[in-house]
Amino acid sequence: SEERSARVLWTRLRQADPWDALRQDAASLLRLGSNVTLARGYLQLSSSSRLVPHAAAIVARAAKLERHAPGILLAVDRDGILELVEPHLDEVLQRFDQIEPHLPFVLDHVDVLAPHVGVILKHFDALLLYVDQPKDDL
C-alpha cells in the first residue's frame, strides 16, 4: 500500500509543476493541521492507523482534499466505513480529479456505496458515461 501511495504522489508531481504542487499541498496540510477540532477528529478515529500507509497519497491530494476534509471525517467516522474504503484509498486518491465533482453525492450516500467501492472503481469510467444524462434517458 505504501508503494501505491508513493505512486500517487509521484504521478501528481509529474502532472504539474512539482514545486507549485508541493507548496499548495504543504499549505493545505498546515491549514488542516491548525484546525484543532478537525485534526483531533481524524486522530481519534478508531481506525486512524489505517491511514498511515496512505500518507504519501493523502499529501499529494491535500490541496484538493482540504475543502472536503470535514465532510470526509463525518462520513468515515461511521462504524466500518473506513475499513471498507481504506483498501481502495490509493486508487480513489489517484482518480480524485474525476471523483471530486461527485464527492457530495458519495458522502451523502457513503453507507450504501462504501461496501461496493471496489466494484464502483472498476467500472467508474463506464459509470461516468451516465452522469450527465437526463433521468428520462436512463
Q: What was the pLDDT predicted at 134?
A: 56
The predicted structure's pLDDT at residue 67:
94
Give the Cα-Cα-Cα angle 36, 37, 41 (nearest 5 degrees): 115
Q: How large a percentage of the chain has pLDDT more than 70?
A: 95
Nearest-angstrom CA–CA distance, 119 and 36:
35
Residues 7-64 have pLDDT tens digits of 998 888 888 788 998 899 999 999 999 999 999 999 898 888 889 999 999 999 999 9
The set of cell numbers assigned to 100 is: 471530486
Sign of the C-alpha dihedral, residues 57, 68, 112, 102? negative
Question: For residues 93 and 8, is the Cβ–Cβ distance under 8 A?
Answer: yes
- Comparing C-alpha atoms, which of 138, 54, 68, 137 is closest to residue 108? 68
Q: Which residue has the cell 484509498?
A: 89
Which pLDDT band, with edges at 50, 70 and 90, does 117 fall under?
A: very high
Q: Residue 119 above 80 pLDDT?
A: yes
pLDDT of 127 strictly over 90: no
How many C-beta neighbours within 10 Å does residue 21 have?
A: 18
pTM: 0.84
Nearest to 72 by CA among 46, 40, 38: 38
- Return d(Cα 108, Cα 74) in angstroms, integer: 10
Longest dimension (CA), the chain: 47
CB-neighbour burial class of residue 8 (10 A; exposed 0-12, middle 13-18, buried 19+): buried
**83-112: per-residue pLDDT in tens?**
999 999 999 999 999 999 999 999 999 999
The pLDDT of residue 48 is 86
137 pLDDT band, cuts 50/70/90, is low
